[in-house]
Amino acid sequence: MAYVSNKITWERAGKVFQDKTLFGERGITVDDVAQGSIGNCWLCAAFASVAENPLAVHKAFLNTKRDLAPTGLYGVNLYVLGHPMTFVVDDYLPLKENSEG
């Protein structure tokens, strides 16, 4: 019987997905968004909505290369209440440990 533990760890994208690009091998797709159990369904819904237009996602990132940044930091242009703002985000991902029992 398989089960998933409640242990969540945070790992850098470059450690988990070595030799990958920022937007993956298939590019940006709605299927990239997966709801977990950390209470971020509102954010996942927003990501899935924006993923309908991959060019918009590419344009939002200030990094000129599409490789994973060695620093793990990315500049992103977003709109807040209709006003453009630039944010710096890191590449730490919440990962839930899978276990079999």
What is the domain partition of the chain in residue ranges? 2-100
Cβ pair 68, 91 in contact under 8 A: yes
Distance CA 30, CA 46 (A): 11
Which pLDDT score, from 0 to 100, does residue 85 have? Answer: 93
Which pLDDT score, from 0 to 100, does residue 8 have? Answer: 79
Which pLDDT score, from 0 to 100, does residue 88 have? Answer: 93
In a 13 Å sphere around the CA of 34, the CA atoms on its Cβ side amount to: 6
Which pLDDT score, from 0 to 100, does residue 6 have? Answer: 64
- Write phi, then psi, for 71 (nearest 5 degrees): -80, -20
Strands (E) located in the chain: 2-12, 73-80, 83-90, 92-100
Which pLDDT score, from 0 to 100, does residue 64 have? Answer: 63
Distance CA 81, CA 83 (A): 6
Distance CA 80, CA 77 (A): 10
- Write phi, then psi, for 42 (nearest 5 degrees): -65, -40
pTM of the model: 0.64
Reading the chain (101 residues) residue by residue, the pLDDT tens digits are 344 456 778 888 878 877 777 676 777 777 777 666 667 777 778 878 888 888 888 888 887 666 778 888 889 888 889 999 999 988 888 787 765 54
Which pLDDT score, from 0 to 100, does residue 36 have? Answer: 67
